Amino acid sequence: MPDNPSPIGLFYGSTTCYTEMAAEKIQEAINTKCGFERVSLHNIKDTNLANTENYSVIIFGISTWDFGELQEDWESQWDDVASLNLKDKIVAIFGLGDQVGYPDWFQDAVGMLHEHIQPQGCHSIGYWPNEGYEFTQSKALTEDGEFFVGLSLDDENQWQSSEERIDNWVEQILLEIQEIEKVL
C-alpha cells in the first residue's frame, strides 16, 4: 500500500436500503484493510454526481429494478453521468439485482452504467467472475461473457454469499488500485 493512498468516493443510489447496506459494508471493509477512513459515502439522492471531481478513485453502487430499469436516484441524474470528468480516474462498480425474479435483466444497470462511463477515459477495475449465479442474460457481462463489469450481489436470493463476495472484491480492487496508481 502506498504511503499516502488516494481517498475513495463511493457514490450510490438506494431505494430499499440494500445498496446502501452494501455500500456501508464495502466502506467498512476497505477502511479496515487500509487501517484508516479511506472511503467517503455519498448517497446520490442527497449528493450531486459532480462531486466525483473530488476523487481520483471512485466506486459507483447501482441496483437494477424490474425489467432492466435504473434505480430512481440514478435515473434522475443519468444525463449528468455523461458530463462527468472521469478521465484517468480509477472506477469500480458494484450492483444489486434479482437473478431469480428477473433472470433476463440481472445486473443490467451495472452494464448500462459501465457503458455510459467507459468512453470517458477512466480505468475500470473490479470485474467479477459470473460463476455461482443463475441467470439468463445480462448487460453487465464482458464481451467474452466470463465476467461482470463490476461486483454483482443478489441479496434477494444469495444474501449468504454477499459478505464473502464483498470481502474478496475489496481485496481485489485494492490491489488493482495500487497497481494503477504505481503507473499514474
The pLDDT, as a whole number, for residue 6 is 87
**What's the gap between Cα 73 and its chain centre?**
15
pLDDT at 184: 79
The pLDDT tens digits of the residues spanning 40-94 come to 999 999 999 999 999 999 999 999 999 999 999 999 999 999 999 999 999 999 9
First vs last C-alpha separation in the chain: 15
For the chain, the maximum distance between any two Cα atoms, rounded to a whole number of angstroms, is: 45
Cα-Cα-Cα-Cα torsion 43, 162, 66, 69, nearest 10 degrees, comes to: 50
Contact (Cβ atoms closer than 8 angstroms) between residue 71 and residue 106:
no
Tell me the domains of the chain and their CATH numbers.
8-183 (3.40.50.360)
C-beta of residue 29 within 8 angstroms of C-beta of residue 59 = no
Residue 177 has pLDDT above 70, yes or no: yes
Do the beta carbons of residue 153 and residue 162 sit within 8 Å? yes
C-alpha cell belonging to residue 57: 478513485
Q: Calculate the CA 108 to chain-centre distance.
A: 12
C-alpha cell at 24: 456501508
Q: Is the pTM of this model over 0.75?
A: yes
Helical residues (DSSP H) of the chain, grouped into ranges: 18-34, 72-81, 108-117, 159-183
